[in-house]
């Protein structure tokens, strides 16, 4: 008896102690060996720029020039003394700059996705871009803010890379490792012309946008960008003039997008107390129960004017035309049924349903639903071995659709100012955090349907998977107790219509 | 009916007071003690990192725990114990749903490696304890602070010194180290300790704890007083206005006292300082019966 008990304690102990506790924080990505060079990408349709020559890149020095020879010698000397950490950054960045930066931006969103804490007097401070390091930090990277941030980075990278491709095939300068056999190719080397360096283009355009979107992370962002350029040089992929030209091009394209971001309506998205009251008054005037913050102390609603932001692929008329119909009246029998369904669902949740609620929660402190869909897309981009410019196109289409979905959805949320289930039935308790903005329609459903439509077009073999994920993400909000079924259904329809704009753009942008 | 009558008849003189893994007590050989312990914990203030605060979105968080505990004296020097708690949580304010369910099954073995008389004043004993815990159900650890536990498999080793004076006073010192296995979440990514992790697995830092205790035992009465410290060796702080996370650096110092008479235990404790934990006040009551074979 004694022996067997001791043995069972020991056995339990060993099963646990033998666990490997190591966690890899970043995505494990193979070195990018693109399936296609996409050599025609310089002619793909632009979205914001007028064309690939809006930013010009001067011709590089000849391969035989003294200056270029000196650049090659510098690479050789660097390669002779690579440290372990330099080799690690070569491996890290060889996965592709577009994928890596997408991952970094997801980390920034998660870091900054926290609402301000209340003051002692029960009011809330507003994050201030002029004072980003204070408490509250700037930004509060909530889902609409995040959707916009992902889209600015993706679209700017895409436009900059199309421009880079155009100039690459104007000048046809080869990579240092191709020009000089004494230079090792420390990452897969294609026949893509090296000038201007796409790594430098991506680093330049991304860092300038991120400085505006996440100013408090400037130090980290700048270091990562420099590391990316150095890795391109150390790996024999780009010379210092390839990099300088790419960096200048990236920054020039970034300036266009920084100017757009300054005037796209984000500055006024928070609104004013008078505006918040006007939403409530309007709902009452229509005979409806207005949304009320369930937080304590009550928090102003999230970004009420986000619905007025500039969209990427829709006109303001399109935005209005695609809006879903009004939700069931708060006093209707239909609404009573829907409230009852939420309560019944939450009180009889299965383990599987609860797991789905947490899988798609993507609430405060996370990379948000748009970040979740970027996470999903990244795996398909990796598996398809997309070139940098095609990877950028994929993220641009996905994130333009989700930004436009955020604008569309937020406009409707504040048009109807519809209360959450817990407001109509205080006996309902939620399994996940309750978002502090009106219910109708569901943001998760709108984002997810827009994303699924775009990804299904780009990766048709997986369309049924995207459809299943969209449905799961959407219904997770009913399981969590924070949305009615009609929020979800109308949200999905709305999101799918908005995603259609990105699909129609992709069908004729010259990339197929 | 018949069984309960037998149990009542077999209730032993309450000289048995071993009920936790860190006390210095052992059961006599072939004594089986089993019981139910009820614990009521609540807190309205918590430490967000090192910042002490309240939160109107949860108000007071209450945790009720009913544990089934059993111990058996395999020999006079070896006691094995099992515990299985049912836990229910709720928040007094805000929309969040409470959670409930069976939490972690724990198995422990206490072994006395030394027992020596110090002159004629009393007995000094040294014990080692090995324990292992495993979640008994697949409850989620991803709804802190309302999750019923951390859902981590764990093993711990402990060393305890106990001095029992002949006049009834006793002193107790204990130090333990707990290794914790990774925890799996239902989501593919999370942010903690300044970093985004693109995985559903969470590394759980190990935990050390120390306690010192003193008390008095006379006949069937025993009154121990304990001060314990619990330190997590890693993990991130709760960020400003964020929810707690399963692998947070949870530290606390707790003071507690207990009165045991016959098979009835009553106790209370309070966390006096902490980090990433609630300032918990705990009240506990237990009923034990003992069978001698």
Instruction: Provide the shortest C-alpha distance from residue B9 to chain A (in Å).
Output: 26
Q: What is the pLDDT of residues B108-122, one digit of tens each?
A: 999 999 999 987 889
From chain A, the residues in CB contact with B197 under 8 A are 23, 25
Out of A5, A365, A372, closest to residue B191 by CB: A365
Out of A13, A19, A422, closest to residue B95 by CB: A422
* Per-residue confidence band for A21, with pLDDT thresholds at 50, 70 and 90: low
Inter-chain residue contact B198 with A351, CB threshold 8 Å: no
Residue A471: both structure tokens together: 């449905």
**CA nearest B205 in A: which residue?**
A21
From chain A, the residues in CB contact with B188 under 8 A are 359, 372, 375
Q: How far apart are CA A102 and CA B259, in angstroms?
A: 59
pLDDT at A466: 98
From chain A, the residues in CB contact with B243 under 8 A are 364-365, 433
Q: Is B197 on the interface with A (CB under 8 A)?
A: yes
Say if strands B221-232 and B207-218 run parallel, antiparallel, or are unpaired.
antiparallel
From chain A, the residues in CB contact with B239 under 8 A are 114, 365
Inter-chain residue contact B80 with A19, CB threshold 8 Å: no
**CA nearest A6 in B: which residue?**
B109
3-class secondary structure for A183-240? CCCCCCCCCCCCCCCHHHHHHHHHHHHHHHHCHHHHHHHHHHHHHHHHHHHHCCCCCH
- How much helix, strand and coil, in percent to the nearest 5, is found in chain B? 5, 60, 40
pLDDT at B220: 85
From chain B, the residues in CB contact with A4 under 8 A are none
Q: Is A268 on the interface with B (CB under 8 A)?
A: no
Inter-chain residue contact B140 with A354, CB threshold 8 Å: yes
- Single out the residue of B280, B281, B282, B275 nearest to residue B47, CA to CA: B275
Inter-chain residue contact B240 with A346, CB threshold 8 Å: no
- As a whole number, mean pLDDT of residues A400-424 equals 98
Q: Is A326 on the interface with B (CB under 8 A)?
A: no
Residue A363: both structure tokens together: 């609430």
Residues A352, A431: contact at Cβ < 8 Å? no
From chain B, the residues in CB contact with A422 under 8 A are 95
- Distances in Å between the alpha carbon of A361 and those of A60, A68, A112, A296, B142? 50, 53, 17, 21, 10
Inter-chain residue contact A114 with B96, CB threshold 8 Å: no
pLDDT at B19: 60
Q: How far apart are CA A233 and CA A305, in angstroms?
A: 45
Inter-chain residue contact A367 with B93, CB threshold 8 Å: no
Residues A118, A124: contact at Cβ < 8 Å? yes
pLDDT at A303: 97
Q: Is A132 on the interface with B (CB under 8 A)?
A: no
Q: Is A123 on the interface with B (CB under 8 A)?
A: no
- Distances in Å between the alpha carbon of A21 and those of A367, B141, B158, B248? 24, 17, 22, 16
Q: Is B201 on the interface with A (CB under 8 A)?
A: yes
pLDDT at A357: 98
Q: Is A298 on the interface with B (CB under 8 A)?
A: no
CB pairs A-B closer than 8 Å: 153
Q: Is A380 on the interface with B (CB under 8 A)?
A: no
Out of A25, A361, A433, closest to residue B198 by CB: A25
pLDDT at A20: 52
From chain A, the residues in CB contact with B131 under 8 A are 9
Q: What is the pLDDT of residues A74-98, one digit of tens each?
A: 999 999 999 999 999 999 999 999 9
Interface of A with B in 14-43 (CB under 8 A): 15-17, 19, 21-27
Inter-chain residue contact B109 with A5, CB threshold 8 Å: yes
- As a whole number, mean pLDDT of residues A265-288 equals 96
Out of B80, B134, B191, closest to residue A366 by CB: B191
Out of A17, A26, A365, closest to residue B243 by CB: A365
Residue A436 has pLDDT above 90, yes or no: yes
Q: How far apart are CA A105 and CA A122, in angstroms?
A: 32
Q: Which of B54, B97, B128, B151 to mutate to test the interface with A (most CBs of A within 10 A)?
A: B97
Out of A2, A110, A295, closest to residue B75 by CB: A2
Out of B134, B155, B191, closest to residue A17 by CB: B155
User: What three-state secondary structure class fits A35?
Assistant: coil
User: What three-state secondary structure class fits B86?
Assistant: strand
Q: Which of A13, A112, A373, A435 to mutate to test the interface with B (most CBs of B within 10 A)?
A: A13
| Residues ≥6 apart with Cβ < 8 Å to A286 | none
Task: State the CB neighbour count (10 A cutoff) for residue A108.
Answer: 24
Instruction: Provide the shortest C-alpha distance from residue A118 to chain B (in Å).
Output: 9
Q: Which of B26, B191, B200 to mutate to test the interface with A (most CBs of A within 10 A)?
A: B191
Which ipTM value was assigned to this complex?
A: 0.92
Q: How far apart are CA A302 and CA A146, in angstroms?
A: 13
Alpha helices in A417-484 (DSSP H): 421-424, 443-458, 463-479
Beta strands in B181-263, from DSSP E residues, in sequence order: 183-184, 190-192, 195-197, 201-202, 207-218, 221-232, 251-261
DSSP letter (8 states) at residue B13: P
Q: Is A61 on the interface with B (CB under 8 A)?
A: no
String of b and e for B62-77 (b: at least 16 CB within 10 Å)?
bbbbebebebbbbeeb
Residues A260, A387: contact at Cβ < 8 Å? no
Inter-chain residue contact A2 with B78, CB threshold 8 Å: yes
Inter-chain residue contact B241 with A103, CB threshold 8 Å: no
Residue A345 has pLDDT above 80, yes or no: yes
Residues B139, B165: contact at Cβ < 8 Å? no
Q: How far apart are CA A156 and CA A80, in angstroms?
A: 36
Q: What is the pLDDT of residues A314-324, one digit of tens each?
A: 999 999 999 99
pLDDT < 50 stretches in chain B:
1-18
Alpha helices in chain B (DSSP H): 2-10
Q: Is B74 on the interface with A (CB under 8 A)?
A: yes
């Amino acid at each position: 008896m004694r022996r067997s008990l001791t043995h069972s304690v020991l056995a339990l102990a060993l099963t646990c102690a033998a666990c490997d506790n190591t966690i890899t924080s970043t995505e494990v990505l193979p070195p990018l060996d693109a399936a296609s060079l996409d050599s025609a990408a310089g002619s793909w349709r632009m979205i914001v720029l007028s064309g690939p020559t809006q930013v010009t890149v001067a011709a590089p020095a000849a391969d035989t020039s003294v200056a270029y020879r000196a650049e090659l010698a510098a690479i050789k000397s660097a390669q002779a003394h690579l440290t372990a950490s330099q080799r690690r950054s070569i491996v890290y960045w060889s996965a592709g700059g577009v994928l890596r930066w997408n991952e970094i931006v997801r980390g920034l969103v998660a870091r900054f996705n926290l609402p301000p804490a209340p003051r002692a007097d029960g009011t809330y401070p507003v994050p201030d871009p002029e004072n980003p390091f204070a408490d509250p930090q700037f930004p509060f990277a909530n889902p609409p803010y995040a959707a916009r941030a992902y889209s600015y980075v993706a679209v700017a990278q895409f436009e900059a890379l199309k421009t880079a491709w155009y100039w690459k095939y104007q000048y046809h300068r080869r990579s240092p490792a191709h020009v000089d056999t004494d230079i090792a190719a420390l990452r897969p080397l294609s026949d893509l012309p090296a000038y201007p360096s796409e790594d430098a283009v991506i680093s330049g355009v991304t860092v300038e946008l991120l400085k505006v979107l996440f100013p408090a992370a400037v130090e980290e962002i700048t270091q990562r960008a420099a590391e990316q350029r150095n890795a391109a040089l150390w790996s024999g992929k780009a010379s210092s003039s390839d990099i300088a030209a790419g960096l200048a091009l990236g920054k020039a394209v970034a300036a266009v997008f920084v100017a757009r971001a300054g005037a796209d309506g984000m500055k006024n998205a928070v609104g004013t107390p008078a505006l918040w009251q006007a939403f409530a008054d309007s709902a009452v005037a229509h005979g409806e129960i207005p949304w009320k913050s369930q937080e304590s102390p009550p928090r102003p609603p999230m970004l009420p004017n986000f619905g007025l932001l500039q969209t990427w692929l829709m006109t303001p008329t399109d935005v209005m035309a695609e809006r879903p119909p009004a939700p069931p009246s708060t006093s209707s029998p239909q609404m009573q049924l829907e409230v009852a369904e939420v309560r019944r669902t939450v009180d009889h949740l299965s383990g599987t349903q609860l797991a789905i609620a947490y899988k798609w929660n993507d609430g405060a402190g996370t990379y948000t639903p748009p970040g979740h869909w970027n996470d999903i897309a990244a795996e398909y981009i990796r598996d398809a071995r997309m070139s940098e410019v095609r990877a950028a196109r994929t993220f641009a289409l996905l994130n333009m659709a989700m930004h436009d979905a955020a604008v569309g959805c937020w406009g409707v949320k504040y048009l109807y100012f519809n209360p959450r289930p817990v407001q109509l039935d205080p006996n309902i308790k939620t399994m996940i955090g309750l978002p502090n903005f009106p219910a109708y329609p569901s943001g998760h459903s709108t984002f997810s349907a827009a994303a699924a439509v775009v990804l299904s077009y780009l990766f048709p073999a997986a369309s049924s998977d995207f459809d299943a994920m969209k449905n799961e993400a959407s219904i997770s909000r009913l399981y969590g107790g924070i949305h009615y079924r009609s929020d979800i259904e109308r949200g999905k329809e709305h999101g799918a219509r908005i995603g259609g704009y990105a699909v129609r753009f992709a069908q004729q942008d010259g990339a197929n | 009916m018949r069984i309960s009558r037998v149990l009542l008849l077999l209730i032993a003189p309450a000289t048995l007071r071993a009920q936790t893994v860190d006390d210095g007590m052992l059961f006599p050989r072939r004594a089986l003690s089993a019981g139910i312990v009820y614990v009521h914990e609540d807190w309205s203030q918590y430490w967000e990192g090192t910042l002490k605060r309240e939160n109107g979105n949860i108000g007071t968080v209450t945790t009720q725990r009913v544990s089934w505990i059993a111990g058996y004296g395999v020999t006079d020097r070896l006691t094995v114990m099992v515990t299985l708690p049912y836990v229910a949580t709720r928040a007094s304010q805000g929309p969040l749903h409470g959670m409930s369910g069976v939490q972690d099954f724990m198995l422990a073995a206490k072994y006395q490696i030394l027992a020596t008389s110090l002159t004629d004043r009393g007995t000094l004993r040294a014990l080692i304890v090995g324990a292992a815990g495993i979640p008994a159900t697949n409850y989620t650890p991803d709804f802190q602070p309302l999750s019923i536990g951390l859902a981590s498999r764990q093993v711990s080793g402990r060393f305890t010194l106990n001095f029992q004076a002949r006049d009834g006073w006793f002193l107790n010192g204990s130090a333990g180290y707990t290794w914790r296995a990774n925890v799996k979440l239902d989501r593919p990514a999370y942010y903690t300790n300044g970093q985004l992790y693109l995985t559903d697995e969470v590394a759980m830092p190990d935990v050390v704890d120390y306690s010192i205790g003193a008390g008095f035992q006379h006949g069937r009465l025993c009154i121990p007083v304990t001060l314990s410290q619990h330190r997590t060796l890693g993990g991130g702080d709760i960020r400003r206005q964020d929810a707690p996370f399963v692998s947070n650096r949870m530290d606390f110092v707790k003071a507690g006292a207990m009165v045991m008479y016959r098979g009835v235990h009553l106790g209370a404790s309070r966390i006096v300082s902490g980090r990433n934990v609630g300032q918990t006040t705990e009240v506990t009551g237990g009923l034990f019966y003992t069978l001698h074979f």
